[in-house]
Amino acid sequence: MEVYTTKGGNPGTGPVLILAHGAGAPADSSFMIKLSESLAHQGVTTIRFEFPYMARRREDGKKRPPDRQPKLLDHYEQVIAEVMVGPLSDRPLFIGGKSMGGRMASLLAADPRLEGRFKGVVCFGYPFHPPGKVDRWRIDHFPEVWCPVLVVQGTRDLFGKPNEVSERVTSFKRLKLNWLEGGNHDFLPLAKQPESQEDLIQQAAESAASFMGTY
């Protein structure tokens, strides 16, 4: 299993975040690299990996839809197990990801078998619902999560905007939301904003590092 490690913090210190990619872009996409580097500047070491369907695409160049959820979850669980016995095993462990990857991490946090294996979840651009389909929410598992979950979301994200999301998640005590003003699903701001995508990614990294630093 190929992984991409971006080291942050002093040796032997700082949290480790397993960071899964979204449905359409690989672990070494521009967004994933920028996010990992920004997290490293905040003292967070990231471990990126690819789900089986994305690894196959890398081998033959053919685009594929994501694997079914059980296969995605099983693969993510294998990555967690490997990290737990690897050289970073003595560091505080968190899991998360971009869009679909973050959703898979949050589902693992609702699995009682895994309780205690990681300290929390960080989701960057959570797919609360498919764009334009506000009748198909992906939040049923949140009442079951056993650890804190942070969602960093752009206010223009078509997968869940503030007015759609806030009223539906108030009862989820372990869920924390952090909104990036003007950001879309990839944290791209409006053209008229003074901030760049890099600025919003940096804000996301700072929010994530602060969250991880409290557990």
The whole-number pLDDT of residue 182 equals: 98
Q: What is the pLDDT of residue 3?
A: 87
Task: Classify residue 28 as exposed, middle or buried by CB count within 10 Å of its CB (0-12, 13-18, 19+).
Answer: middle
The ranges assigned to domains in the chain are: 3-212
How far does Cα 208 stand from its chain's mean position? 10
Residue 1 has a pLDDT of 61
| Torsion on CA atoms 102, 56, 33, 137, rounded to nearest 10 | -20
> Residues 148, 211: contact at Cβ < 8 Å?
yes
- pTM of the shown model: 0.96
Distance CA 163, CA 45 (A): 33
Measuring CA to CA, which residue among 53, 23, 37 is closest to residue 159? 23
- Tens digits of residue pLDDT in 74-128: 999 999 999 999 999 999 999 999 999 999 999 999 999 999 999 999 999 999 9
CA distance 84 to 198: 31
With a cut of 70, which residues of the chain have pLDDT below it?
1-2, 10-12
What's the pLDDT at 133? 96
3-state DSSP percent of the chain in helix, strand and coil, to 5: 35, 15, 45
Looking at residue 9, its pLDDT comes to 72
Q: Where are the alpha helices (DSSP H) in the chain?
A: 30-41, 52-60, 69-84, 100-108, 162-169, 197-212
CATH topology classification for 3-212? Rossmann fold (3.40.50)
